[in-house]
């Protein structure tokens, strides 16, 4: 597993998300400042609503930029079966129905999904319940966790 290439792939996806946020912010700004959205009376709030949307999109851009910075500063290390799970670990989990999940324990951007070398990888953070439970675990450990009101049982099959 080329984790440096994986890191670059994740950075590229985060950059794409950032660019999407910039495009949405620019569109919202354009809508908010368009001459047709000037209020005709006190009940005409389209321009005001568009300005709120533009502000929210600008915050989204700032979050994306902070995520890019934080992920870019992540030190990429290789893990072995004797290494405890921590930030930067690529974790293979198997559930009771033999369904495999591949997770990358990242400092930010939990929930982002990427495809890499034919694998579907989900970013998870230590702030997430599953990420918190995985921290410090090793290969072949079993974890039980309640997610969305349902009990889940996982076996850690590999760490890279």
Beta strands in 40-118 (DSSP E): 90-95, 100-105, 113-116
- pLDDT given for residue 36 in this prediction: 65
pLDDT value, residue 43: 59
- Produce one character per residue of 112-147: b if its CB has 16 or more CB atoms within 10 Å, e if not: bebebeeeebebbbbebebbebbeebebeeeeeeee
Q: In whole angstroms, what is the distance from residue 65 CA to residue 21 CA?
A: 10
Residue partners of 94: CB distance under 8 A and separation at least 6: 100, 101, 154, 155, 157
Look at the chain and count its residues.
160
> What is the H or E stretch that residue 73 is in?
none
CA 156 to CA 140: how far, in whole Å?
5
Looking at residue 20, its pLDDT comes to: 92
What integer pLDDT is reported at residue 56 of this predicted model? Answer: 85
Under CATH, which architecture does the 90-159 domain have?
A: Roll (3.10)
Per-residue pLDDT of the chain (160 residues; tens, 9 = 90+): 799 999 999 999 999 999 999 998 888 777 766 666 555 566 556 666 777 777 888 899 999 999 999 999 999 999 999 999 999 999 999 999 999 999 999 999 999 999 999 999 999 999 999 999 999 999 999 999 998 889 999 999 999 9
CA 68 to chain centre: 11
- What was the pLDDT predicted at 40? 59
Distance, in Å, from the CA atom of 149 to the CA atom of 14, rounded to the nearest integer, reads 30
What is the side-by-side order of every strand in the sheet holding 142-147?
113-116, 119-124, 100-105, 90-95, 150-159, 142-147
């Amino acid at each position: 597993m080329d984790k440096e290439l994986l890191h670059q792939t994740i950075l590229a996806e985060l950059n794409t998300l950032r660019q999407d946020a910039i495009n949405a912010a620019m569109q919202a700004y354009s809508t908010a400042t368009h001459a047709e959205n000037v209020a005709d009376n006190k009940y005409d709030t389209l321009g005001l609503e568009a300005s709120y949307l533009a502000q929210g999109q600008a915050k989204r851009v700032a979050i994306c930029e902070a995520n890019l910075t934080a992920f870019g500063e992540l030190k990429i290390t290789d893990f072995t079966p004797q290494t405890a799970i921590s930030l930067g670990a690529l974790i293979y989990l198997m559930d009771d129905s033999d369904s495999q999940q591949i997770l990358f324990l990242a400092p930010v951007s939990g929930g982002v999904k990427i495809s890499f070398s034919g694998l579907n990888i989900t970013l998870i953070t230590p702030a997430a319940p599953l990420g918190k439970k995985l921290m410090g675990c090793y290969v072949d450990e079993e974890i039980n966790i309640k997610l969305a009101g349902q009990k889940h049982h996982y076996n850690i099959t590999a760490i890279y």
